[in-house]
Structures are given as C-alpha cells and as structure tokens.
Amino acid sequence: MENKIKNTGTATVNIGDKSYDLPIYSGSLGAPAIDVRALHKASGHFTFDPGYTSTCSTESQITFIDGNKGQLLYRGYGIEELAEKSTFLEVAYLLIHGELPNKAQNISFTNTITNHTMLHDQVESFFHGFRRDAHPMAMMTGTVGALSGFYHDDAHTTENEARDMAIHRLIAKIPTIAARAYKYSIGQPTVYPRNDLSYAENFLNMCFSVPAEPYHISPTIARAMDKIFILHADHEQNASTSTVRLAGSSGANPYACIAAGIACLWGPSHGGANEACLNMLQEIGTVDRIPEFIARAKDKSDPFRLMGFGHRVYKNFDPRSRVMQKVAHEVLDELDLKNPILDVAKELEKIALEDEYFVEKKLYPNVDFYSGIVLSALGFPTSMFTVLFALARTVGWISQWNEMLEDPSQRIGRPRQLYTGATERSYIPMDKR
C-alpha cells in the first residue's frame, strides 16, 4: 500500500505560553485529520479520545463511509450497486486487491477459495469439546483461533505467499466452520462443502441439507444470502476491525487476529445487535405496543435501547438497512411467508423516524434492523445471526489486516491513558492495615 495522504494545512495548539504546529492531512474523501504523532514528544501532552469518536487510527484505501450522506463505498463502488450487480466473492477480491477482477481473475480466485473450503479432519474434535447448547459464536471464536495451531506456515506474514494462503484459507473455511457450528448446535450430522456450488449455495447446503433427502437451493434465496454477505463485508475502522488491526499490529497469527475480531463483533452494541433486535421486535410483538418501547428507549433511567437503531458514523440512514429491507421483501415473497414482525419493524421505523428524540439524536435504522427478519425467514435461529455477520466480515477484516501489513507507516498499536489512580505510596504491612 502506498501512503497517499496529503499535507493540506497546519493546526496550532497553544499550551501555556507555547505554541505547537501540527500538520493537517487530507485524503481523497472525508474529513481532514490533524497529525498528533509528534505532540507528546514536543509538548508532553497526550490527546484524549475515549471511544475514538474523533480519531483516525490509520490511513486506509478500502472502505469509505459518509455518515451524513448515508454513503458506503467499497474501493469507491457504492454498496447499493455492488449488492445489486456484484457477488460476494467478487467483492472479496475487490476489497483485497483494490480493483474488480476481470473474468480470468474471478475464475482463478473463485477456484482457489472453492478448493480450500474443507477443514482439517481434526478440527472436528474441537466442536465435540463444546456443549450442544454452546452459543455458535463461542464455537466460531474458539475454532477459528484453533486454526492457528494447524497453519504454522501462514504465520510468517512477512512473506506475501504465506499471507495470501491465510487470506484464502480464512475466506474459504469460515462458512464451513459457521455451518458446522450450526449443525453441531442442532445435533445434525456434518454436511461437507461441495465444489460444484457457489459460495452462498454451498453455505446454505452445509446448513440446511440433510443426508436423508435431496435439498433444493432456491436461486432467489441463494442470491439473497450472497447480497447479505456483501452488505456485511466491510465497514471501515469499526470496533471489530480495529481489534483485528490491533492484534495484527503485533505480528500475531492471522487466524488468532480474526478470532479476536469475532469475539469483539459478538457484543450486542456491535454485531450482536441483529440477534438483540429480532428479540426486541418479538418482545414488542404487535404494533400497538410500539409506543411503550419508544418511551423506554427515550427514558434515561431505563437502560433499554432500540436495537438496530443508531450508529456512531451514520447520522443519516444506513444504506445497508435500505437494501436489507428490500431483501426482506424478496425473501418473504419467495417463501410466501407473512411475518407480522416485519410489519412491526416497518411501523417502528416509521414512528421512530417521526419522533423528535430520534430526529434530534439522528438515530436511524442500521444494518442490523432488518437483517434479523431476513435471517429468521431463511431458517436461521437468532443465535446464528452474528455468526453470519462474522462470516461475511471476515473478508473485510482480512483485507484490512493485509492492508495494515503492507502499510509502510504501520507500527504496533499502543495507546496511552489519562491516569487518575493512586499516586506513589509505600507498602503497608498486614498488621498495620
């Protein structure tokens, strides 16, 4: 990766009777940034930004989000257009390499991924160490991390070939692990990957086919699955991507880094929101109970939040939510399903978007608001929703990890702190306490 930031000005920080000039850098899109790397050495001061609300942790050329415009670009291409016209593996190639693949590149990349979908047979024993009722995200975190014990040659991330192998193995095996976790949790036998199926078809087959009878894969459902993967593929420096980058900055094994990302995504404020959102919609149950929950979401004394609403970056609509709403209709129509929860979700969205609390705080439905409805209609239990998010986001995580390793300015991530603990004091013997 070639650094492309441009110096476009100077910020002056006045501390006491001293002034410090800091360069302002701009990228190709988005807000400029003040480079504070020299601040502590020059002034003895840190910057303070818990939650990183005003901090760029890196330069990146992969994904751009304009929260005010509700815009999401993967390597410059709009998410709406990619969801409509591209495929998940084509998007994976784009995120990793920076350009859409030509026909030969697409065939070669697809064949490479297809031919790495199987797991080492000893991985099977990891699943049998879990209780059947273990959350599938626990199985994902443990099993993906365990892959670092199988692929020692991929650990040498300084060699491009080893890095490419790790990238391909992770994209290829994550659906097999996700499907295996699901089958294990419902007590059904493993369904092995098939090389004659597309990425989405293969995943649906590994999840829903059984040895006892043929399984028909609906092209509409497979296309919907592929679109859902595209929508979740990457999203700039979100919490789980930042976790992967921080773990990778120490040179940790790529499988261990992705396991760290899976662990972070699991949280209900992040990737776990799709599961929490459907549970919330089911708790609301009917349209007439919506005002009660809107009131709770606005009540500061009540920890309840509208799951699937709000976003650190999007202060306008989340473009993924709109595509996901369309996918919800496509899937429910294809399956001829009437889901009253979809009616509750649409009415909740309408009421919330007209409520001054949500308008004032710029809270809009995010990617998780409709995804639970779609995934539930596809036949997945709520415990699998974040697993599917992790499956798709593995492409983004590994693309960002790869970019970090190629960034000439990359260093180990090591934030500092504003310490407010005890000042130095002497040890007190036990009989004096």
Q: Any idea which residues carry the catalytic annotation? A: 311, 368
Cβ neighbour number for residue 124 with a 10 Å cutoff:
13
CA distances from 183 to 85, 106, 259, 314 (A): 31, 30, 20, 36
Closer CB to ligand SDX, 191 or 276, in the complex: 276
Find the binder of ligand SDX among 23, 130, 197, 270 (CB under 6 A).
270
User: Contact 260/244 with Cβ under 8 angstroms?
Assistant: yes
284 dihedral zone (left: phi>0; alpha: psi -120 to 50; beta): alpha
Residue at 244: amino acid letter: V
Q: At what angle do helices 199-208 and 88-97 cross, to 10 degrees?
A: 120
By CB under 6 A, is residue 312 in contact with ligand SDX?
Answer: yes
240: closest CA among 254, 261, 212, 226?
261
Q: How far is the CB of 300 from ligand SDX (least distance, A)?
A: 7
Interface with ligand SDX, residue 307, by CB under 6 A? yes
How far is residue 143's CA from residue 262's CA, in Å, rounded to a whole number? 11
Residue 269 interacting with ligand SDX (CB under 6 A): yes
Instruction: Fill in the per-residue mask, 66 to 105: x = in contact with ligand SDX (CB under 6 A), - = not in contact.
Output: ----------------------------------------
The pair of structure tokens assigned to 218 is 């609906």
Q: Is 309 in the site for ligand SDX (CB under 6 A)?
A: yes
Q: Which of 404, 368, 387, 386 is nearest to 243 (CA)?
A: 404
Interface with ligand SDX, residue 308, by CB under 6 A: yes
For residue 73, give the DSSP letter.
E
Minimum CB separation from ligand SDX for residue 140, in Å? 16
* Beta carbon of residue 234, minimum distance to ligand SDX (angstroms, whole number): 8
CB of 356 to ligand SDX, least distance (A): 13
The answer to whether residue 305 forms part of the interface with ligand SDX (CB under 6 A) is yes
Piece of 126-134, 252-260, 303-311, 379-387 that binds ligand SDX (CB under 6 A):
303-311
Note whether 275 binds ligand SDX by CB under 6 A. no
Task: Name the residue among 124, 143, 115 with its Cα closest to residue 202.
Answer: 115
Could you tell me how far CA 132 lies from the centroid of its own chain?
26
Beta strands 33-34 and 63-66: pairing type? unpaired
> How many residues would you count in the chain?
433
Binding characters for ligand SDX, 188-217, by CB under 6 A (x = yes): ------------------------------
Whether residue 402 contacts residue 163, with contact meaning beta carbons closer than 8 Å, is answered with: yes
- If one asks whether residue 363 binds ligand SDX (CB under 6 A), the answer comes out as yes
Pick the binder of ligand SDX from 154, 201, 368, 407 (CB under 6 A). Answer: 368
Distance CA(102)–CA(414), nearest Å, equals: 40
Answer whether 401's CB lies under 8 Å from 185's CB.
Answer: no
**By beta-carbon distance, which residue lies closest to ligand SDX?**
310
Residue of the chain from 113, 297, 345, 378 that contacts ligand SDX (CB under 6 A): 297
Give the binding range for ligand SDX (CB under 6 A) out of 86-94, 100-108, 222-230, 308-316: 308-316
Q: Which is nearer to ligand SDX, 205 or 366 (CB)?
A: 366
Contact positions vs ligand SDX (CB under 6 A) = 235, 238, 269-271, 273, 297, 305-313, 361, 363, 366-368
